Amino acid sequence: MSEAVPRPEAENPDDGEVLHYPRDGGNDGPIVVANEFVDVVVRKVQTRNGVRLEIFSPKHNTCVRFDAVALDCLSYQEPEFITSLLARSPAP
Amino acid sequence: MATDSAGTRTEAGLEGIRDGIAQGRFPAHVFNDREIFDTEQRRVFSKAWCFLAHESEIPNRGDYVTRYIADNNLIVARAESGEIHASLNMCRHRGNMMCKSEMGNASHFRCSYHGWVYKNSGELVGVPYMKEGYGGRIDKRDWGLVKVRTDTYAGLVFGTLDPDAPTLEEYLGGFQFYLDLYLKQGSSGSEVHGPPDHWVTETDWKIAAENFSGDGYHTPVAHQFGFNLGYFASSGSTHSQGWAASIPGKGHGIGLGHTPGFPPFAGFPEELAEEMRSSLSPEQVEVFSQTRTAVGTVFPNLSFLMQPFSIVPGEAGVRFVTMRLYHPIGPGRTEMYSWCLVPKDASDEYKQEAYRAYTLAFAQAGTFEQDDLENWARVTRSAGSTMARNIEFPYVMGMDSTPDPDFPGPGHVVTPYVNDSNFRNLWSRWSEYMTGRV
Ligand code: FES
Ligand SMILES: [Fe+2]
């Protein structure tokens, strides 16, 4: 790895774990968001006391779960913020 | 600009062609000729303003399409800021193609070879193993995608590879007056109805560009069925009526076909016709209300056609607009792009009807399209034969016509509609580029 930040360990699927997901997950997901560069799977994850949004990348086998506060904060980031994240960790 | 490798024979030949046009002659071989094709790539398409896309093809942030100028594949993308950028579709690391899809949505492009990441506006933002591999020897600011200069008119996005080209406004040179008929249907303007039909055809781009710069002459013959079966509201006896308008020195031209007694703006929904009467200038209203068919070419290879076409023979026609790009991919070979433009403001019903009329007449399998391409493919084949190298065509029709002094539109405007005047202007502009005068 390069100047990338470490992967978010806790939420990652186990190595070799294959996640199967239906293409039409309704309102709860999973939803597949894809373009010609990559695809990710998004779904709602229920915890005992609330809900998080999970973003899973089959390509990298990485996963994060955002709660409402985190998502709210994402909602007012500039596009430049995502650019700066990609600058830190463009691939793989 | 790279130095020219064309030999003297070609240079002298090109000068001769230029002189011939002034006398109403144009050689057959230019419509299928390797040397002409190669010279066009460098001298015409690398210098002119070339059409890239309609803004409504990329309405949202991140939308992109890939298009060509000469043999260069370009990404035309709407950045996260909303601006439109055109960049060469070639990774700066080792040249991989960035976007393989012809259309998509992405805020960033990631190269599938070594993983360089660019913003969709072209700036390089991410390089894998930047520290370990490059150790500070690369400044990302120096290695963005190569930018192409762009400019827009009424939703049309053009690009030019020539940093010294005049502005698009100057390049269009008043032709905007006529383009508005296609681009400002209703006060909110026009939009594309779906992605373009896109196919490869065995014809030379110049045959198509010439035909669409106002060849009313072929219509009653090549499209005879349209008259006879009642798809098309014109008749052989009056078909020569109308105007040929061209912008001298710029190459653009439009044929405006007129049918006596044809109701003004017929074929448009009434509300839309009303809107246009107030949103267009009085001069434009005067010209367009008398126009049945408007068929025009923006030099070099962007064309438009508007006319009413009956979906059911004998019934009232529905107005449709097709916009087409004739992208040259070889001598006598063209990649066609054909769009249907509809008024943004119109009802969905009218948009559907206009699209049906367009599809019936001018999409890939359209009846008019078939009529034209059958002829054009054979013109192209003949033009490539050895004897054709010494054959010229007459371009003398309307050579003595004097411009109509009362016509309210700009440019050199003559009657009748069947006229070579637009073609002489088109090829004389082409020869200015081909002889390096532009
Ligand atoms: S060619 Fe694009 S990253 Fe190497
Ligand atoms: Fe035709």
Q: What CATH number has the domain bearing residue B147?
A: 2.102.10.10
Give me the helix-helix angle, B8-22 and B34-43, nearest 10°.
80
Shortest CA distance to B103 belongs to which of B145, B80, B75?
B75
Whether residues B136 and B243 share a domain: the answer is: no
CA of B376 to the centre of ligand 2 (A): 10
Q: In the Cβ-directed half-sphere of A1, how many Cα atoms lie within 13 Å? A: 8
pTM over 0.90: yes
Instruction: Give domain status of residue A7, yes or no.
Output: no
Mutate to test the pocket of ligand 1, among B93, B118, B143 (most ligand atoms within 8 A of CB): B93
Q: How far is A48 from chain B (nearest CA, A)?
A: 35
**Domain end position, chosen among B136, B160, B184:** B160
B373: left (phi over 0), alpha (psi -120 to 50) or beta: alpha
* Facing B104 at nearest CB: one of A35, A83, A90: A35
- Which residue matches tokens 């078909």? B239
Contact B57, B63 (CB under 8 A): yes
Whole-number pLDDT of residue A47: 86
Cα B327 to Cα B336: distance, rounded to the nearest angstrom: 6
CA distances from B183 to B10, B56, B156, B209, B343 (A): 39, 12, 8, 19, 8
Whether residues B279 and B386 share a domain: the answer is: yes
Whether residues B130 and B197 share a domain: the answer is: no
Write the secondary structure of B105-124 as one string of H (helix), E (strand) and C (coil).
ECCEEECCCCCCEEECCCCE
| Whether B110 and A91 lie within 8 Å, measured CB to CB | yes
| Whether B107 and A79 lie within 8 Å, measured CB to CB | yes
| Number of other CB atoms surrounding residue B89 within 10 Å | 22
Q: Which two tokens stand for residue B151?
A: 């400019």
Whether residues B105 and B156 share a domain: the answer is: yes
Q: How far is A13 from chain B (nearest CA, A)?
A: 23
Closest C-alpha to ligand 1, atom 3:
B114
Whether residues B258 and B283 share a domain: the answer is: yes
Instruction: Give domain status of residue B259, yes or no.
Output: yes
Shortest CA distance to A92 belongs to which of A41, A19, A37, A26?
A37
Instruction: Give domain status of residue A65, yes or no.
Output: yes
Report pLDDT digits (tens) over B42-99: 999 999 999 999 999 999 999 999 999 999 999 999 999 999 999 999 999 999 999 9
Whether residues B210 and B355 share a domain: the answer is: yes
- What ipTM goes with this model? 0.74
CA distances from B197 to B254, B318, B323 (A): 23, 20, 11
CA distances from B120 to B81, B88, B128, B285 (A): 10, 11, 18, 41
Chain A residue closest to B104 (CA)? Answer: A35
| Whether B130 and A2 lie within 8 Å, measured CB to CB | yes
| Number of other CB atoms surrounding residue B249 within 10 Å | 12
Residues with CB under 5 A from ligand 2 (ion): B 372
In this prediction, residues B399-426 reach a mean pLDDT of: 94
Cβ(B129) – ligand 1 distance below 6 Å: no
Whole-number pLDDT of residue B10: 82
- Residue A89: list chain B partners with CB under 8 A: 126
Q: In what order do the strands lie in the sheet with B108-110?
A: B108-110, B117-119, B124-126
Q: What is the dihedral of CA B377, B31, B157, B288, to 10 degrees?
A: -80
How many percent of chain B have pLDDT more than 90? Answer: 90
Whether residues B101 and B150 share a domain: the answer is: yes
Instruction: Give domain status of residue B45, yes or no.
Output: no
Whether residues B147 and B202 share a domain: the answer is: no
Whole-number pLDDT of residue A13: 63
Share the mean pLDDT of chain B: 95
Report pLDDT digits (tens) over B118-175: 999 999 999 999 999 999 899 999 999 999 999 999 999 999 999 999 999 999 999 9
**Between B185 and A6, the higher pLDDT residue:** B185
Cα B268 to Cα B316: distance, rounded to the nearest angstrom: 10
Whether residues B192 and B104 share a domain: the answer is: no
Instruction: Give domain status of residue A9, yes or no.
Output: no
Asked whether residue B27 carries a pLDDT value surpassing 60, the answer given is yes
Asked whether residue A18 carries a pLDDT value surpassing 60, the answer given is no
| Number of other CB atoms surrounding residue B345 within 10 Å | 18
Vertex B13: Cα angle to B12 and B15 (nearest 5):
65
Whole-number pLDDT of residue A20: 60
Instruction: Give domain status of residue B30, yes or no.
Output: no
Burial class (CB in 10 A: 0-12, 13-18, 19+), B34: exposed
Instruction: Give domain status of residue B418, yes or no.
Output: yes
Instruction: Give domain status of residue A6, yes or no.
Output: no
Whether residues B208 and B271 share a domain: the answer is: yes
The number of folded domains in chain B is 2
One-letter amino acid at B177 equals: F
Report, in this order, helix, strand and coil percent for chain A, each rounded to 5.
25, 30, 50
Report pLDDT digits (tens) over B331-386: 999 999 999 999 999 999 999 999 999 999 998 899 999 999 999 999 999 999 99
Contact B64, B77 (CB under 8 A): yes
Q: Which residues touch B303 (CB under 8 Å, ≥6 apart)?
A: B208, B209, B212, B213, B295, B296, B297, B323, B324, B325, B326
Instruction: Give domain status of residue A43, yes or no.
Output: yes
Instruction: Give domain status of residue B20, yes or no.
Output: no
Instruction: Give domain status of residue B267, yes or no.
Output: yes
Whether residues B333 and B413 share a domain: the answer is: yes
The CATH number given to whatever domain includes residue B239 is: 3.90.380.10
Asked whether residue B401 carries a pLDDT value surpassing 60, the answer given is yes
Q: pLDDT band for B2, please (50, 70, 90 cuts).
A: very low
**Domain end position, chosen among B160, B186, B212:** B160
Instruction: Give domain status of residue A52, yes or no.
Output: yes
Which ligand 1 atom lies nearest to the CA of residue B112? 2
- Which residue matches tokens 């290695």? B143
Whether residues B209 and B347 share a domain: the answer is: yes
Cα B205 to Cα B291: distance, rounded to the nearest angstrom: 26
Cα B283 to Cα B221: distance, rounded to the nearest angstrom: 32
**Element (H or E) spanning A44, and its range?**
strand A39-47
Instruction: Give domain status of residue B16, yes or no.
Output: no
Which ligand 1 atom lies nearest to the CA of residue B116? 3
Cα B293 to Cα A11: distance, rounded to the nearest angstrom: 64
Residues on A contacting B at a C-beta cutoff of 8 Å: 2-3, 35-38, 79, 82-84, 86-92
Q: What is the dihedral of CA B43, B49, B54, B58, to 10 degrees?
A: 80
Q: What's the domain range around B121?
A: 50-160
| Number of other CB atoms surrounding residue B187 within 10 Å | 14
**Domain end position, chosen among B160, B192, B218:** B160
Q: Which residues touch B318 (CB under 8 Å, ≥6 apart)?
A: B267, B308, B309, B310, B311, B350, B353, B354, B356, B357
Instruction: Give domain status of residue B194, yes or no.
Output: yes
Whole-number pLDDT of residue B124: 98
**Between B225 and B257, the higher pLDDT residue:** B257
The number of folded domains in chain A is 1
In this prediction, residues B408-436 reach a mean pLDDT of: 97
A78: left (phi over 0), alpha (psi -120 to 50) or beta: beta
Q: What's the domain range around A59?
A: 31-87
Contact B430, B300 (CB under 8 A): yes
Contact B64, B104 (CB under 8 A): yes
| Whether A87 and B99 lie within 8 Å, measured CB to CB | no
